[in-house]
Structure formats: structure tokens, C-alpha cells
Homo-oligomer: A and B are copies of this chain.
Amino acid sequence: MEIKSILLGHGSGGKLSHDLIEKLFSKHFDNPILKQQSDSALFGVEGKHMAFTTDSFVVDPIFFPGGNIGKIAIAGTVNDLAVSGAIPKYLSCGFIIEEGFSYESLEQIVVTMAEEAKKAGVQIVTGDTKVVDKGKCDKVFINTSGLGFLDEKYKPISSGTGIRPGDKIIINGSIGDHGMSVMAARNDLNISADIKSDCACLNHMIADVLDQTTEVRFMRDATRGGLGTVISELVQNETYGIEIKENQLRIHEKVRGMCELLGFDPIHVANEGKVVLVVGKKDAQKAVEIMQQNEYGQQASIIGEITEDYKGKAWLETMIGGKRVIEMLSGQQLPRIC
């Protein structure tokens, strides 16, 4: 389909985003590293492997229960590096600020960023600030780019080339918290839902799993587009399928209620502190237990597995025993969720 103008859905992380990347960015910026299309670009430097990633954050509102735009800006980029099997190390940050934005709010955001960076063990080593006239951006947008280093043996993780039938799908807790927290915090909705974003840096938890197991085949953080998009991307054009058991998914009551109210499927709602792992049968339970030791993985569990059936498809076995295909998010569900 020809694209005439940019729609909100082109930034959703779902199908329209994929179209835009394929038709425009991958086509013109074509190179072997970009082609990997993983969360981070991977390349070798003097026998050392590096991961490089970027994300711009435009979340609205900029403060919400459980975090703010600065916290996401650190966690998002740290997690993108970590799920590539890399140890995150250096971050850049670029601010675009609306003229007249409160210094107090900016400082609060910067302090949060510094705290999160410290917790994650990363350094913000370079930055840039632009200010645009009032009305030409919305308070503040933040770009963070990140650099990490990875062991040779973790290189297959971001592409998932080692995945095989029988591998287990693991997630480190409940889904949909971030998206619904941000939605509830929007002024125009007047909902007091008491839902807290799960926004967090997961790199230490992920490093623990990688250090103590040998069968992690794939990881991805389930942000825009949610768990559903990660799962459906994973099977695209593959010789295997995925089956997810709905009764294994944790969804907080308030999140479920709000999704019903607003007509959203929790499986496509954004998270900012959830990682999906594919782990070999032998190590899967061990990985879950390691994650449960971490504050961000207490509710980690196996939610499904890689199957020989359903080649190229992801299926959800519903509570009542039915089955439905999990699609990539099409159009856009929640703009400016991160």
C-alpha cells in the first residue's frame, strides 16, 4: 500500500511501523548491520562485540505512576542492549525542550535519569539540548542511544537463530501495566485506576540468567505493541510456531478492567519492564527461578512454548480452551506510550 502521509500508527511498533521501516529506512539505509533488524545493532571491534541502539521518547504525560519520561529513556535503552545479550555501558541523551518548560520538572526528570543510570550501572557520557518555540513540541522529548559489549557466545540471541521446537517462552511478570498506567494518567480520561507502570532497567536480572544458564536462545523487551507483537514477530517466516497459554499470563485486575473499558487487548498493551525469553527446555525452569530472585522478576513464569505445528503463526490457547491467532498490532492502539 502506498503511504501518502505519516499516521500515528507508523510509530506504534506494530504493522504500520514495520511497513515504514521496510519501505523507507531499510531500503535507503541498506547495510548488513541494519538488516539484522534487532533491538541493537551488533558489530565487532578488535575482537570485541558491541551493541548500539537508539530510542526517542515522547510519552504523554511525562509524569505517570511508577515513572516519568526520564526513567523510560534510561530503562528503554538499557533494556534494548540487555536483550541483545550485551552489558550496557555508555548512554547518550538528547533533549528537545519546549520553550517555557518548567526547570523544576526538567530537573526532576534529569535526577530520575541519573538515579536509574546509577542503578543500571551505565554512564551518560554525551548529550545535547535543543529548545524549540512554545507550541512546537510537547514539553520534552528525550532520545537516548546506548552502547554495550557482548560476549561472542551471546551473538545468536538477538536474532534468535538457535530457537527450536520444545523451547519455552518466559516472561518476567504481568503484562499491560505500563500502557494502562500512562492511559490512566492522561488528563482527558479522568480515570483514577491506581495502576503503576512496570518501567525498570532489567539488565542485572538478564545478566544473572545469562551467567547461570546456557540455553537462552532469544530475548526481547515487550514495549510498544506488547507481548503480542514480540511473539508474532518472532515466528514470522519461521519454520516453527508458538503456543501461548492465556491462563499463564498475569494481568492485574485493574489493568484487565481498564482494557475492557477501553477496548484494548492486554496482549498488545505496552510494557516497559518486561522481557520475553525463549529458553531451552533443560534450562527454562532454572531461568524462571533465577528471575524470581530479582525484584523485577518475582512473578516470572513459563507462558508457552515453541511448537513444530502452526509454522509461522503464534497461537493463544484461551482460558476456555479455544484458540486464536496472535497478530502483530495493526494500526495504532496507544499513541505516545513511550
| Stretch with Cβ within 8 A of B (4 or more), from A100-108, A196-204, A211-219, A284-292 | A100-108
| Stretch with Cβ within 8 A of B (4 or more), from A50-58, A163-171, A177-185, A242-250 | A50-58
Contact indicator per residue, chain A 80-123, by CB within 8 Å of chain B (1) or not (0):
00000000001011111111111100110011011001000001
CA gap between A99 and B101 in the complex, in Å: 23
| Stretch with Cβ within 8 A of B (4 or more), from A22-30, A233-241, A252-260 | A22-30
Given contacts A130-B58, A143-B143, contact A96 B99 (CB under 8 A): no
Taking a contact as CB atoms under 8 Å apart, the answer to whether A31 and B125 are in contact is yes
Contact indicator per residue, chain A 144-157, by CB within 8 Å of chain B (1) or not (0):
01010100000000
One complex includes copies of this chain to the number of 2
A132 interface residue per 8 A CB criterion:
yes
Taking a contact as CB atoms under 8 Å apart, the answer to whether B54 and A145 are in contact is yes
Which of A6, A9, A20 has the most chain B CB within a 10 Å cutoff? A6
Taking a contact as CB atoms under 8 Å apart, the answer to whether B149 and A45 are in contact is yes
CA gap between A332 and B10 in the complex, in Å: 35
A295 interface residue per 8 A CB criterion:
no
B residues within 8 A CB of A98?
6
| CB contact between A143 and one of B54, B113, B132 (< 8 Å): that residue | B54
A336 interface residue per 8 A CB criterion:
yes
CA gap between A58 and B94 in the complex, in Å: 12
A-B contact pairs, 8 of them (CB 8 A): A28-B110, A46-B46, A46-B48, A56-B95, A60-B136, A133-B335, A136-B138, A145-B145
Apart from the given pairs A29-B117, A43-B125, A133-B335, 18 other A-B contacts in the complex at a CB distance below 8 Å: A5-B100, A6-B97, A7-B100, A11-B97, A11-B132, A12-B131, A24-B106, A25-B127, A33-B90, A34-B123, A45-B45, A45-B48, A52-B90, A52-B147, A54-B127, A56-B96, A58-B137, A143-B145
